[in-house]
Amino acid sequence: MINLSQMNPIKFLRSKIYSLLKIFTEIFLRISFKLRLASFISNTIINLRHRANDNQNYNNIIEKLKLSKKITMLDVGASDFDFKFHFPKKYEKYFEAILVEPHKKSASKLKEKFIVIDKALWSSNCRKTLYIPENKKSASSFYKPSIPGFEIYNSSDNFLLQTKIREEFTDCTTISESLNNLDKKSLDYLKIHAQGSEYEILKGIGSFRPLMIKVTIQVTGQYEGVPFWGETLNLLNKLGYMICSWENAGGHSTHSYIQMHITFIPNYLTETGKKIFENKLDQFIFLLLISGQISLLKIISKQNNFSINNYISNLEDKFFY
- Domain ranges, ordered by start, for the chain: 4-50, 59-118+175-320
Contact between 216 and 260 under an 8 Å Cβ cutoff? The reply is: yes
User: Is-above-0.85 flag for pTM?
Assistant: yes
5 has pLDDT over 60 = no
Contact between 98 and 186 under an 8 Å Cβ cutoff? The reply is: no
Residue (of 271, 286, 277) closest to 210 by Cα position: 277
Contact between 167 and 129 under an 8 Å Cβ cutoff? The reply is: yes
The span from the CA of 167 to the CA of 87, in Å, is 34
* Contacting residues for 245 by C-beta, under 8 A, at least 6 apart: 50, 262, 263, 291, 293
Amino acid residing at 146: S
* Contacting residues for 115 by C-beta, under 8 A, at least 6 apart: 96, 97, 98, 99, 182
Residue 118 is predicted with a pLDDT of 92
For residue range 220-241, list pLDDT tens digits in order: 878 889 999 999 999 999 999 9
For residue range 240-275, list pLDDT tens digits in order: 999 999 998 877 888 888 889 999 999 999 999 999
Read off the pLDDT of each residue in 204-216 and give the average, rounded to a whole number.
97
- H/E stretch holding 275 reads helix 271-277
As a residue count, the chain comes to 321
CA 239 to chain CA centroid, Å, is 18
Q: Is 149 left (phi over 0), alpha (psi -120 to 50) or beta?
A: alpha
46 has pLDDT over 70 = yes
Amino acid residing at 284: F
Residue (of 165, 100, 182) closest to 130 by Cα position: 165
Q: How confident is the model at residue 27 (pLDDT cuts 50, 70, 90)?
A: confident
Please give the sequence-ordered ranges of beta strands (E in DSSP) within the chain, or none if there are none: 71-76, 95-100, 115-117, 120-121, 126-133, 165-173, 189-192, 212-218, 241-248, 259-266
Q: DSSP letter at 196?
A: T
For residue range 118-157, list pLDDT tens digits in order: 999 999 999 999 998 877 766 789 998 887 777 777 655 5
Residue 10 is predicted with a pLDDT of 76
Please indicate whether residue 83 or residue 36 has the higher confidence score (pLDDT): 83
* Exposed e or buried b per residue across 70-89, where buried means at least 16 C-beta atoms within 10 angstroms of its C-beta: ebbbbbbbbbebebeebbbe
Q: Over pLDDT 90: what percentage of the chain? A: 62
As its CATH architecture, domain 59-118+175-320 has 3-Layer(aba) Sandwich (3.40)
